[in-house]
A and B are shown apart, each in its own frame.
Chain A
Amino acid sequence: MIKALLFILWISFLSLPFMGIKGALFLLFGISFAYGIFLAVKKSSIIFKEVKMPGISYEPRILYIVIFIILLALPFGLKDYYLDVVILAGIYIILALGLSVVIGFCGLLNLGFAAFYAIGAYACALFMTKAGLGFWGALPLSILITMISGFILAFPALRLHGDYLAIVTLGFGEIVHLTLNNWDSLTHGPNGISGITVPFIFGFALGSLSHYYYIVLIFVLAAIFIVRRIYYSRTGRAWLAIREDETAAEAMGINTTKYKFLAFAFGAFWAGLAGALFASKMRFVSPESFTFMESVFVACMVILGGLGSIPGVIFGSLLLVVLPEALREFQLYRMLALGTGLVLMMVFRPQGLIKPKTTINHRGH
């Protein structure tokens, strides 16, 4: 109790130069008050503990069908603004799944993932505006180019370990960002590239929000499906083994270099896809969408949900896209909350919100 009060006093003191005397006093009393409420609730929560949540039993298959129907019906029930947020969340899910392969499965900390996202988006934008390709022609090419850049980074990066790898990927992200900002003749610098057209199917323009929603939905489902299948396969196991102990993995006969390359390329594949979708959804790309903060943001999605857990990644992406939108009135404070949330998360639940399941129904005999 006294320790806690001293702590609050200390924090308020630290804030003194930045918040002034009034602010520091406000902080002092504010936190003390909150702490008092916390203590009171803690005391009374003994009563709450007795009440247990009734267990809901359901068939997972039915749950999936219900979710699927809701997803299909979503554009009919949502205002454009919310649909926009959902589409963005979908693109982030694809992106975060890609990063999850690299960080969560293979254990390679990539702090420059936004670079791949950027390359995918810019490649798509350039193919469509300069080469006159349609979206469906530009999409595979953008993904290919992103994967190639994944290889180019993997060559030097995979000789390095741990934090060195992290810093080199971070550097790669910065280099790409600076290049986008300064290569005026190709990227139009900070002004970005506009005039990206909408996708067409059989001459039919898919320009409305709900069209985009369905396109993104299909890709999100495909991404979840494919990543999940790979996760529960020989390749996925090899990645996890590398994450857990690289030396032991190699002694088990896993060609670690090859599988790390594969993880980088597979991750880049999804980043390229997400980038292309982003470019055509926004119909505009500019460097400011692909900063280091973006890389960190995506990494947070992967880590918040639970490293190596696919439902966790989905949940993390939804949380980090939807929550800030929901808290728009408190917009000023949302980054503050994100930072605090990350620290609290690591201190109190470092494994993430959802613990990954490694094997499925292997009691099959």
Chain B
Amino acid sequence: MFFQQIINGLTVGGVYALIALGYTMVYGILELINFAHGEIYMLGAYLGIIFLGIFTAMGLTQYSLFLSLLLTFIFSVTFCSAYGFTIEKLAYKPLRKAPRLSPLISAIGVSIFLQNYVMLTQGATDKVFPHIMETTKIEFFNATMTALQVFIIVTSLLLMSLLHLYVMKTKTGKAMRAVAQDKVMASLLGINIDRIISVTFIIGSGLAAVAGLMVAMYYGLVNYYIGYIAGIKAFAAAVLGGIGSIPGAILGGFVLGIIESMGAGYLSSEYKDAYAFVILIIILLIKPRGLLGKSAKDS
């Protein structure tokens, strides 16, 4: 039971962490809660179903499952990144100098729009993700782990490492950190802030797309409102770890995932969604800036 819950927790946690990264990166740079980020994840899940459907209709899936899955991932990620990029340009960029609340409201507006956009174009009923991966199971310590779970955990860890390398080693990554540290200074140093912000949204949306796709595969069902609950949980994870911090988002995601599945397993699964917030509130009371958060800036 215990190990089973750990495995389940890590699987869900990996997904939360991937979404949380988008929140934390945007927050680090713009100090904006990108409320629409959860919807990008939902778009990713839908796009997965749509593209896989197209490939199946074309006969590609029957020819090579691997290839069609790969293409589905690539297409979904590309489209989600394009959505993230466009949303930033349309709804956030004009508000750079507006009061703090304005971009947040705008983000809520985008979120409502996207939910209804998907509901109108794809229908309000559950969509089914075709069951394509064989359910190979690994057993150990009285716990079972499906191939899909391995795939999700490995993929999320891989992407996190890639992101870490990108932010630490590449020129753009360094520029991102500089912008997060001090925007004025960064622009004086000749960094194109608008470009960095666009890159941040593109990467964050891409990660969310992968998360959405994997969840669609994991649960097999997708609905237009999955973005909201996953979004706020991932945001809670980002805050838990200390928003603005990339390792924090990863830690927060996994911690939240494990807490949630432990709670569901040992306490009551009906309150599953509440654990995230109870833990969040408790942690913020002890450490008001999250687990790995920066200490308060002095005025």
Q: Do chains A and B touch in the complex (CB under 8 A)?
A: yes
Chain A interface residues (CB < 8 Å from chain B): 10-11, 14-15, 17-19, 23, 103, 109, 156, 159-160, 162-164, 166-168, 170-172, 174-175, 178-179, 181-182, 247, 292, 296, 299-300, 303, 307, 332-333, 335-336, 338-343, 345-347, 350
Interface: B56 (CB within 8 A): no
Interface: B47 (CB within 8 A): yes
**Do the beta carbons of A167 and B280 come within 8 Å of each other?**
yes
The secondary structure that dominates the A interface is helix
CA distance A55 to B288 in the complex (A): 54
CA distance A352 to B31 in the complex (A): 22
**Do the beta carbons of B91 and A343 come within 8 Å of each other?**
yes
Known contacts A18-B50, A340-B113, A346-B98; is A332 also within 8 Å of B235 by CB? no
State the Cβ distance, A99 to closest chain B Cβ, in Å.
13
**Do the beta carbons of A170 and B232 come within 8 Å of each other?**
yes
Residues of A within 8 A of B112 (CB): 296, 335-336, 338-339, 342
Residues of A within 8 A of B99 (CB): 350
With A174-B232, A342-B108, A343-B91 known, 9 other A-B pairs at CB within 8 A are A14-B79, A167-B235, A167-B280, A174-B274, A182-B271, A300-B108, A333-B120, A336-B117, A339-B109
Chain B interface residues (CB < 8 Å from chain A): 27, 31, 33, 46-47, 50-51, 79, 82-83, 86, 90-91, 94-95, 98-106, 108-118, 120-122, 228, 232, 235-236, 239, 243, 268, 270-271, 273-274, 276-278, 280-281, 284-285, 288-289, 299
Identity of the chain B residue whose Cβ is nearest the Cβ of A10 in the assembled complex: B86
**Do the beta carbons of A350 and B95 come within 8 Å of each other?**
yes
Residues of A within 8 A of B239 (CB): 164, 167
Residues of B within 8 A of A156 (CB): 281, 284-285
State the Cβ distance, B125 to closest chain A Cβ, in Å.
14
Choose among A181, A342, A345 the residue with the greatest number of B CB atoms under 10 Å from its CB.
Answer: A342
Known contacts A18-B50, A18-B118, A167-B239; is A341 also within 8 Å of B284 by CB? no
Identity of the chain B residue whose Cβ is nearest the Cβ of A341 in the assembled complex: B109
Residues of B within 8 A of A172 (CB): 277, 281
**Do the beta carbons of A343 and B277 come within 8 Å of each other?**
no
**Do the beta carbons of A174 and B113 come within 8 Å of each other?**
no
**Do the beta carbons of B285 and A336 come within 8 Å of each other?**
no
**Do the beta carbons of A18 and B46 come within 8 Å of each other?**
yes
Identity of the chain B residue whose Cβ is nearest the Cβ of A338 in the assembled complex: B112
Known contacts A167-B236, A178-B271, A179-B274; is A343 also within 8 Å of B284 by CB? no
| Interchain pairs with CB closer than 8 A, number | 142
The secondary structure that dominates the B interface is helix
CA distance A10 to B86 in the complex (A): 9
Name A178's contact: one of B100, B232, B274 (CB within 8 Å).
B274
CA distance A307 to B99 in the complex (A): 11
**Do the beta carbons of A168 and B281 come within 8 Å of each other?**
yes
State the Cβ distance, A330 to closest chain B Cβ, in Å.
11
Residues of B within 8 A of A347 (CB): 91, 94-95, 106
Residues of A within 8 A of B274 (CB): 174-175, 178-179
**Do the beta carbons of A163 and B33 come within 8 Å of each other?**
yes
**Do the beta carbons of A23 and B235 come within 8 Å of each other?**
no
CA distance A265 to B33 in the complex (A): 26
Known contacts A14-B82, A292-B228, A346-B98; is A339 also within 8 Å of B110 by CB? yes
Name B83's contact: one of A14, A19, A23 (CB within 8 Å).
A14
**Do the beta carbons of B105 and A342 come within 8 Å of each other?**
yes
Identity of the chain A residue whose Cβ is nearest the Cβ of B117 in the assembled complex: A336
Identity of the chain A residue whose Cβ is nearest the Cβ of B122 in the assembled complex: A18
State the Cβ distance, B260 to closest chain A Cβ, in Å.
13
**Do the beta carbons of B278 and A346 come within 8 Å of each other?**
no
- 14 A-B contacts (beta carbon < 8 Å): A14-B83, A17-B47, A23-B121, A160-B288, A164-B284, A171-B277, A174-B274, A178-B270, A303-B101, A335-B115, A342-B106, A346-B91, A346-B98, A347-B94
Residues of A within 8 A of B281 (CB): 156, 168, 171-172
State the Cβ distance, A309 to closest chain B Cβ, in Å.
14
Residues of B within 8 A of A109 (CB): 101, 104
**Do the beta carbons of A174 and B228 come within 8 Å of each other?**
no
CA distance A115 to B185 in the complex (A): 42
State the Cβ distance, B238 to closest chain A Cβ, in Å.
9
Known contacts A19-B121, A339-B116; is A296 also within 8 Å of B108 by CB? yes
**Do the beta carbons of B109 and A350 come within 8 Å of each other?**
no
**Do the beta carbons of A14 and B46 come within 8 Å of each other?**
no
Residues of B within 8 A of A164 (CB): 239, 284, 288-289
**Do the beta carbons of A14 and B47 come within 8 Å of each other?**
no
Residues of B within 8 A of A160 (CB): 284, 288
Identity of the chain A residue whose Cβ is nearest the Cβ of B111 in the assembled complex: A339
**Do the beta carbons of A307 and B101 come within 8 Å of each other?**
yes
Choose among A14, A156, A174, A247 the residue with the greatest number of B CB atoms under 10 Å from its CB.
Answer: A174
Name A346's contact: one of B31, B50, B103 (CB within 8 Å).
B103
Residues of B within 8 A of A345 (CB): 105, 109
Identity of the chain A residue whose Cβ is nearest the Cβ of B110 in the assembled complex: A343
State the Cβ distance, A231 to closest chain B Cβ, in Å.
19
**Do the beta carbons of A343 and B86 come within 8 Å of each other?**
no
CA distance A324 to B18 in the complex (A): 36
CA distance A182 to B273 in the complex (A): 12
CA distance A166 to B46 in the complex (A): 29
